[in-house]
Chains A and B, each alone.
Chain A
Amino acid sequence: MNAAPLAVAGNGERRALRFLAELSQALAESLDLRATLEMAVTRIADFMQAEAASLFLLDHAGLIECRICVGPVDITGLRLGVGQGVVGRCVAENATQIVRDARDDSRVNVRVDAETGFVTRSILCAPLSNARGPIGALEVINRRDGSLFDEDDAEILRLVAAPAALAIGNAQLAHGLVEQQRIKRELDLARRMQKSMLPRRRRGDFPIRGVNLPAHEISGDFYDFFDLPDGRLAFVIGDVSGKGLDAAFLMVRVASMLRWVGARAPAPGAWLGEVNAELCRSVQDGRFVCAAVGQYDRASGQVRMASAGFPPALLHAGSEFEEIPADGPPLGILAEADYGEREIALGQRALYLFSDGATDVRTGATDRLGEAGMRGLIARHAGLAPEPRLRALLGDLKRLRLVDDTTLLLVQESCGAQAHTLMDLEFPAQAVQMRSMRAALRHALDAQGVAPELRDQLVLAVDEACTNVIRHAYGGECSRRIALHVARERDMLAFELRDRAPAVDPACLKARDLSECRPGGLGLPFIAATMDAWKLEPAADGQGNVLRMHKRIEGGEPE
């Protein structure tokens, strides 16, 4: 049969081909796989003139289970090991099996017959397989006319098995995708719920600010701050050991406990002690939580805080760093742990608390940023006001490789240093506008006492940023606008470039390696080499992009 050309195919073969075509069509169009397979198995039984037919699928446990069965005896749910019986052997060998006379064949499993009274005379079994191997088997039993199955029947069953396997494979794939999307949606929901637990940023000169950057969908880190009845401000930062959903759930619990206990304004040591005792009672799976808590009195400038195994906090002013170590072990380990506390005269200094995700950031293949690196970053952005400084720190950490959830909390009074505008310019997105923009910028930078070499480099970086907007964001010269704002706050220059172009994906901007010599793509490397920090973001109003670049200058004094 397999070599018979269609033109001379006999009656039986023509019938087989028509059946195969119809069956393939039905399986391909199937939306409800189960119903379609039931129909298919019934039609296969009829076509093969078989008394019974069944479809087996391999499950996750490596067993072969009868999923669909037509005939006098229902064996749906019957499970066999690979290699066991005719079906098991068919799957094990990924080859069609013919049992001409079941009474005289060692492959035949006689148990079912013994239990049901059914008499198995002749069996055909074809594997269902895809590119990766067998996924199950299709079995027909006993010809209705009492004759035995032959090689032609085996060939037909083998052909029929192919579209069935394809349909099952597609359905399993679709099911997998749906499942993946469901999990993603739920993780997304969990992430949003977690995020909603973090306190809202307070506007104005509120002295406590936090940021949280989960390494994955969900975070084991948290921070919190809230007002106490006596006017003081309470703050909390924590890091739950481990990653993933269970860490996230524990984080939610611990965060609520810390808030609940902290609302009564206990001394920080007692605050940690109470939460620790409760955690030790209720968490026994080896998880623990590093946390620091404190209260800040704005009137006196005093901070009282305590730390349970949290990484050392840093007090920073000028070139001075002071390290504040932990006062006791992490929460959830020792029920009788005692937590000391300390009093800090904050004054105008900045108090940084950061989870170990910040210091664990990778600066090379294996090198960690470490505490020294963190100090370096803090010193580098010290000229910025607290809010942009926290953003700049986060930007730096993001640009390095984040391996863990990262959370920063900053307690500091705004010291009143005001950024003052050096230049505000708006012009159409045309290359001919660049020359006057450069002249104005040179003039503004000269007035700030910026050395000529650095001035020229800054002008180049801003020019490149503008031409990138013209060429890439706007897609060519046009009459739409570019706005350039340059400001200075102490020794930090801030350049802000706004456009009204469609949002640019910041992820697709990457400064190329300068060691290879080729004509294009030099703009971004110029910007990266010149500025201390730069970041492209969609504009807050959703229209256009904002490129922010920062450069610390030394020696120069504002006019």
Chain B
Amino acid sequence: MSEAENICVSEDLGGYVLVRVCGEVDLSWSQQVRDAILAALGRCDGVGVELAQVTYIDSSGIAALVEGFQTARGQGRRFGLIAASRQVLAVLQLARLDKVFPLFADLDAARDA
């Protein structure tokens, strides 16, 4: 298990915001991830959350993603998960949410969708 640092950064790509999350998303900082996603949705029509470097995610992290998804849908904005790691996919499956979120292999696929 790599000791990836917990990072959440938003990148403005002109008309699309990429929220890049790394590390172990748990109760200690999932609120930051939630805030970043909601802030991105507040200023842009399309938001992608990149989860390739997420080595762990708990229910509070999943809740942040669900809230982002529901907010985007309510406002008619695009929202997708990009390059979700094996660990993230396993938890999404456990929560039966793997069919709910739009999942994309990479940023281009997400932006083109």
Contact = CB atoms under 8 A, between A and B. Distances in A.
B97 interface: yes
Given A456-B87, A463-B26, A517-B97, A438 B63 contact: no
A525 interface: yes
A430 B28 CA distance: 8
Given A434-B26, A467-B60, A517 B100 contact: yes
Interface string A481-515: 00000000000000000000000000000000011
A60 interface: no
Nearest to A514: B96
A330 to B, nearest CB: 48
B104 interface: no
Nearest to B57: A460
A522 B95 contact: yes
Given A434-B26, A460-B58, A517 B66 contact: yes
Give chain B's interface residue range (CB within 8 Å of chain A). 20 to 34
A463 B90 CA distance: 15
Contacts of B63: 519-520, 522
A432 B91 contact: no
Given A467-B60, A470-B27, A518 B1 contact: no
Nearest to B34: A519
A435 interface: yes
Contacts of A470: 27
A372 B27 CA distance: 42
A431 B96 contact: no
B60 to A, nearest CB: 7
Nearest to B91: A460
Contacts of B62: 519, 522
A3 B27 CA distance: 70
A442 interface: yes
Nearest to B59: A522
Given A435-B26, A515-B96, A519-B70, A467 B58 contact: yes
B68 to A, nearest CB: 9
Interface of A is mostly: helix
Given A432-B28, A519-B63, A522-B59, A453 B90 contact: yes
B27 A434 contact: yes
Nearest to A523: B59
B59 A464 contact: yes
B13 interface: no
A467 B26 contact: yes
B95 A431 contact: no
Contacts of B35: none
Interface string B73-101: 00000000000000100110011110010
Contact of A442 (B1, B59, B66, B70): B1
A334 interface: no
Contacts of B27: 431, 434, 467, 470-471
A457 B69 CA distance: 24
Given A457-B90, A460-B91, A526-B94, A431 B66 contact: no
A529 interface: yes
Interface of A: 430-432, 434-435, 438-439, 442, 453, 456-457, 459-460, 463-464, 467, 470-471, 514-515, 517-520, 522-523, 525-526, 529-530
Given A456-B87, A463-B26, A467-B27, 10 more contacts: A431-B28, A432-B28, A438-B24, A439-B1, A457-B94, A460-B56, A471-B27, A517-B70, A519-B64, A522-B63
9 contacts: A438-B24, A453-B90, A464-B59, A517-B70, A517-B100, A519-B64, A525-B95, A526-B91, A526-B95
